[in-house]
Chain A
């Protein structure tokens, strides 16, 4: 089953390009800090130096190595993205499938909550919550971000399941006396798997961009480094107006490359698996 899924994807040029870019940055984040063993927080007297042999991407105001910051930043931004995506996926799946299976009052209640969260500007609520914590761990930021981006997925899951549940094979399982849980795991989850994967990919983007936004206004993780924190430092030290391009360009390029490659992957998957987009 897996082979039949992957083969048409590998014929899609867009998918290949997106996957290559993403894997490249994933490897940078995973292996980069292991191979390039420079402490991103170590201050030196070589401050605000452009790229050179000693510092391939130059240094910041405190003489800290930008490449080391970038590699560690990619790692923690990806970590936040994955964690936030996992949280959103779990909440969205639970809310959406409960709503579809239970119907009635449960459905009304869950959809009311979903619509309220959907209409509420999530990044603003994230800013408000983060502002009340003096110490913010990387995990906490992921939790805050993941907690608000699930609604559209819950609604999509519910719609998809409702349509699947009117099919015969599912009704047979109901007649056979399957429990709700068994029904969800055996009959329903397989029908939403590709969909969930695409949502997961977009949730990672939400997490990475959300972290960058929170960090830029000073509400990111209080310990460690991330792509958003690099940008925040660059803004605080007026790197842009002082032409220190090697400082503020790399973290932005990394953010755009990672999120765009994930979006390209999900778009390509849609092109391959969605019959309404296939050419005749």
Chain B
């Protein structure tokens, strides 16, 4: 019985996210065609003005662009081709890195982004929630004031600006940590100890700038949740019958975590956006850095491809969070959600 309601819940979420993905890809499709002044026509005319490119390369890129966007065909044919290509993982050819495929450019940078984003997000979530719960538990003591006032400020620091401060302080002034890239220039990625160690060294600053600036928001949210829960009937009742504080707090903590899990799903987009920009500040060779290069050269097939992949991964991560939620929350497990 229990597992069936989880499946039902997850199936509903899956259909919703699938519909959302189709809407998102449709927006990606419509944008370049709907915006006045047709940016695609502009690139075509601009291509011929790029001095370094050879004429035959320009013509090839032009043909690729026409092919990519299906220009000249009726819009519904263009749309159908676009969506079916997006689902098959064919995202077209880059202009800047012509004739390399968008997929081949994006796939190698994804592990770097994941390696930075996933651990930083999880560590920030755990640390922030623990701090917030501690503050609520010690409400109105100096601990609470320190955590709340600190979090209110820290949560508003953009990841990338904290990254800049860290680069300046630890990298430039103290000179103890490398400030750019994921490994020393000229080194070829391999599994030797020296390489792994230098990757870790390069990892410290971008990782910690994301963790520190992300944890404030979780602490604020968790503190509020725990205060709400401590004032709820079941917690009051537990207190009145003389249950030990620690045990009451344990129940309250677990109940307060649920909304924070939903919160994680909603924050994913913002976290991803922030960490992409952090990559740019650190010249970290991830998706953000690739996107930045694509944006500066107006490489629309590459920009679109990165978006289709990023948005798909956000929805996938959303689904994973839903899954965790369904497993943890007994109300979903026994089928009386909402």
Binding site for B on A (CB under 8 A): 14, 115-116, 118-125, 127-129, 131-134, 152, 205, 209, 212-213, 216-219, 231, 234-235, 240-241, 243, 245, 248-249, 252, 255-256, 259-260, 263-264, 267, 276-277, 279
Contacts and interface: CB of A to CB of B under 8 A. Distances in A.
Contact of B273 (A205, A213, A234, A248): A213
A258 B196 CA distance: 41
Interface of B: 16-17, 19-20, 23-24, 27-28, 31-32, 35, 37, 39, 42, 140, 148-149, 152-153, 155-158, 160-161, 164-165, 167-168, 171-173, 179-180, 220, 224, 227-228, 231, 265-266, 268-270, 272-274, 277, 280-281, 291-292, 295-296, 298, 300, 303-304, 307, 310-311, 314-315, 318
Given A240-B172, A241-B171, 6 more contacts: A119-B314, A120-B24, A121-B270, A123-B273, A131-B298, A245-B168
Given A121-B273, A128-B31, A235-B281, A116 B157 contact: no
Nearest to A128: B307
A31 B180 CA distance: 39
A108 B238 CA distance: 40
Contacts of B224: 277
Given A132-B39, A252-B165, A260-B153, A124 B310 contact: yes
Nearest to A270: B224
Contact of A240 (B17, B164, B298, B314): B164
Would you call the interface of chain A mostly helix, strand, loop, or mixed?
helix
A245 B292 CA distance: 24
Nearest to A123: B273
Contacts of A131: 295, 298, 300, 303
B179 A219 contact: no
A151 to B, nearest CB: 9
Nearest to B19: A116
Contacts of A115: 16, 20
Contacts of B272: 121, 124
Nearest to A125: B27
8 contacts: A115-B16, A120-B23, A123-B273, A124-B272, A217-B291, A243-B168, A255-B161, A260-B153
A264 B307 contact: no
A127 B274 CA distance: 12
Contacts of B165: 249, 252
Contacts of A118: 266
Contact of A120 (B20, B158, B160, B274): B20
B161 A252 contact: yes
Contacts of A276: 227-228, 231
Contacts of A124: 269, 272-273, 307, 310-311, 314
Given A121-B311, A267-B220, A231 B273 contact: no
